[in-house]
Structure 1
Amino acid sequence: MVDMAGAPEHDVELDASGLSCPLPLLKAKLLLNGLASGAVLRVTATDPGSQRDFRSFARLSGHELLRDEEADGVFRYWLRKA
């Protein structure tokens, strides 16, 4: 079970569980394109490669990675749109 205490609030949620990279990131990018600046997207993924992908994407895109966490092979990311 994931401890969600202190997790940022989010406006939109994407469940990319079971998808292999780069699909979780591609689906997140599509959702972010439709969001207003400042909106927060929470992504759930199960591909371990998503950690590297989301951290790099946030750094290169200007979106803010508010939090990322992993528990029992489930990865969660909170991205604030630039």
Structure 2
Amino acid sequence: MSEFEQADVQLDTRGLFCPEPVMMLHGQIDEMAVGQSIAVLATDPSTQRDFLKFCSFLGHELVCSKEVNGEYQFLIRKGEEE
């Protein structure tokens, strides 16, 4: 089982374009406990930049990101709430 499959929450944003994937991630991560992880699937290339900035700005950890056959996979751990 991959680290993406072991995430606490799965979020599929494939087929959606900016800003929808970030908005969906923001809404989902608000419902999670600190330390939980979320695996996100996306097809919009801008998510690579957007999710990195999202994590940096809000204090979450971008554990892993990769592109496989035109799909982007992200593993994000919720950080401490500020």
Answer yes or no: same fold by TM over 0.5: yes
State the partner residue of 1:51: 48
SS of residue in 2 equivalent to 1:78: strand
Residue deviations 1:31-68 (CA, integer Å, cap 9, x gap)? 00000010001000000011000011111110000000
SS of residue in 2 equivalent to 1:51: helix
Q: How many residues align?
A: 78
Give the distance between the partners of 1:45 and 1:22, measured in 2 at CA: 12
TM (normalized to structure 1)?
A: 0.89
Residue identity over aligned pairs, in percent, reads 38
Query: Where does the alignment leave 5 or more consecutive residues of structure 1 unmatched?
Result: none
**Superposition deviation, residue 22 in structure 1:** 1.1
**Superposition deviation, residue 11 in structure 1:** 0.1
TM (normalized to structure 2)?
A: 0.89
CA RMSD across the alignment: 1.3
Query: Where does the alignment leave 5 or more consecutive residues of structure 2 unmatched?
Result: none
State the partner residue of 2:58: 61
Q: Does 1:12 align with 2:12?
A: no
